[in-house]
Structure 1
């Protein structure tokens, strides 16, 4: 059965709830508003339920038991299971989070429409919020796995982030079954996501790609002139920025456009964390920048901007002068 606005679902006590509009749809299921409520409902696709219902229910039960530990975080965590009238499992209810997906920030044109007044300070505060939230989850042995620009929301009033799609997170013996190759570290390439064990280091690699995409307005860190697609370049460790890169305009160099200018305005520490993660850290997980290193680097960068050492402009059109 396909559910739509006006259809009724039930909680464990058989209390009816009326579905509102569909606000999201993906490979695992659809997300609906819930009429008269600040909660949302995710209903899994029937095909997925047929294949994995037992595992989905067990994982959901585990997550619901953990909701007290997650309460103080800005994560849209499963709260209660949702059923059909005949008590068939459908999905779960979660708190609705307000915000704009980061994919609109990591875009050289759309950011002006969605975030017209954003400054570089705002962007850094946003990244610190993300690092802090992931740190709290890691303390609970929860790993995100599928970190991408679509499942992280930004509130432009507070510059805080919220995380959605939390049902896919790795918890206990339940892996994260989804992911994107271009956001995935090398050690997990060519493997079925359902059997991968995510780690702090794998999350930090994906996080570094996302932070890079935000500062560089969607450009993938492994994009380079004459290279293949980002996945191929990632597998070859071809990060074109920083010392030792190819000369401008040559194969392997930073892509043509405003990308070098954007890179030049990043702080020395932030550049170092990217190089640490995307060069040696591409094949050596232990070499990747940690969450603590990212927080310190971002905090220092924020202080540098407040001291006028770096521009507060988010999309500078010219490189940083050497004399600054």
Structure 2
């Protein structure tokens, strides 16, 4: 048995990728049997639950087995009080704290988000890491062996091939294109025309077709599309390539799920734009939109995908419950690079480089995610937009001329329009993170932003702030509609589903209610109470993947366990990992 290699350890630190990639397989069953046979303690990071939230909320059929595996994992370990949460969410912090345990091994997978972070950050550690694959379980003793076992990938040679695969063919309305499995798709209506190609409605109302212009399909692009289709991602709200398209035997494009709404850039474009599109929005709706964005990007990261070109025009928004990532064909998949980028959202470390000739890191993406967080919270404003500052935005970025202070002592350089009040009414923990990035040059992992924004949402939902201004999109301001729109997308209202309660991380069917069930052994393992109540949302949207109700992370009954402070669990409650 492959899992016998772990038999001599006293404890395991299990990465969430093990559940996602091997849930429902013989390998996962062997691992669970080993844990129970040897009475092992199992440790997880705070990211463990949050990553599972991101998986559930994508409503992707490919994750059914992973959801069931989480139920089995928690159902087996909780009754024996063997599941513990290490008080860490950042990767290196988690490893550092796990190393303090006796005879422990971290269990992860070869292409996991966790491994990618380790290889990028290159921390000095000596503890063992078990890398699971479909064929083996391999033990690496410390960082050096891990880096030897999983070498840094080189950019694909296809990135340097400038030939084109297309022939002189032209598709338009009424033409029939063929998918890779010989299905006929009719192009019924052209809905947009961009620099790379055209997007058409099809005879299947669920999908649209992107047809490239001549001189666009390179070997890199087609190879990437082929790989993306093979990944089978069908997440609600991620317009991922579903089928390759051919016309007269020539590659011409791909199909994707349809999205509705306006781009974030059109909606988050100052007070008038956001008020005209969503006049009834509150601050929690802005936060809901941000939570949805972060979940989708984290979900991509879990699949070894770096978005690369993160910007406000690459997502459509119908309501705070219906958001769609678009232009997915440019993302970086494995060693196939993202060839494009937007300077205002890209770390200055990459300026001037040819994006198609290198692989972006998650560290690079962390900067873009921070830009996205600020831009959404500030309704489209760039963090380095200032008054009385440098002549260009580029200069402001390079100098880190962030116009906000932690003590609100200087507001002279903050743009007019009420943005100073948005800053004042943000909670201190969020202000400190934003200040750390844009003034001090720090980086936070996307999962850290997600945890923080969830906590902010929980405070808004529970009315934790006394001042009612804290719940307004623009505190202290009284912006009114300047146009009779009032909707981000008024034609053909998308069908909505009745929101049901998701009572626990272990629910294999997220659209059906179940009894309250907490998948973690101690409320002390969760320093913040997260809720996913969508009742504050103004819109219903085409899909509601995130469900109302308790997600199982804050069940009060967990407080009752092991109050005698004895054993490993007692040490945990005393703050071993604080």
TM-score normalised according to structure 2 size = 0.50
Contact 2:208 2:255 in 1 (8 A): yes
CA distance in 2, matches of 1:147, 1:291: 13
Contact 1:105 1:214 in 2 (8 A): no
User: Cα distance, 1:209 vs. partner?
Assistant: 1.4
User: Cα distance, 1:160 vs. partner?
Assistant: 4.2
Query: Counterpart of 2:226?
Result: 61
CA distance in 2, matches of 1:3, 1:182: 35
Contact 2:419 2:474 in 1 (8 A): no
User: Cα distance, 1:289 vs. partner?
Assistant: 1.9
CA distance in 2, matches of 1:196, 1:120: 39
Query: Counterpart of 1:272?
Result: 432
Larger Rg: 2
Contact 2:404 2:410 in 1 (8 A): no
Range moving further from structure 2, 1-10 or 126-135? 1-10
Query: Counterpart of 2:457?
Result: 302
Aligned length: 304
Any unmatched runs of 5+ in structure 2? 1-168, 478-578
Query: Counterpart of 2:195?
Result: 27
CA distance in 1, matches of 2:408, 2:472: 26
User: Cα distance, 1:236 vs. partner?
Assistant: 2.1
Contact 2:267 2:277 in 1 (8 A): yes
CA distance in 2, matches of 1:242, 1:23: 45
Question: Of 352, 363, 370, which aligns to 1:208?
Answer: 370
Two-structure CA RMSD over aligned residues (Å): 2.3
Query: Counterpart of 1:227?
Result: 390
Distance 1:113 1:92, change over 3 A: same
Higher relative contact order (CA 8 A, sep 6+): 2
Contact 1:240 1:246 in 2 (8 A): no
1:12-161 paired onto structure 2 within 5 Å: 12-49=180-217, 52=218, 54-67=219-232, 70-72=233-235, 74-85=237-248, 87-107=249-269, 108-156=271-319, 159-161=321-323
Contact 1:220 1:230 in 2 (8 A): no
Query: Counterpart of 1:321?
Result: none
Q: Which secondary structure does the structure 2 equivalent of 1:208 belong to?
A: helix
User: Cα distance, 1:76 vs. partner?
Assistant: 1.1
Contact 2:173 2:190 in 1 (8 A): yes
Distance 1:228 1:24, change over 3 A: farther
User: Cα distance, 1:182 vs. partner?
Assistant: 0.7
Task: Give CA-to-partner distance per residue, 1:105-160, whole Å, 9 cap, x none.
Answer: 3122121222222111121122112112211111111010111111112241x524
Range moving further from structure 2, 131-140 or 167-176? 131-140
Query: Counterpart of 1:322?
Result: none
User: Cα distance, 1:189 vs. partner?
Assistant: 0.7
For the pair 1:317 / 2:476, whether they are aligned, the reply is yes
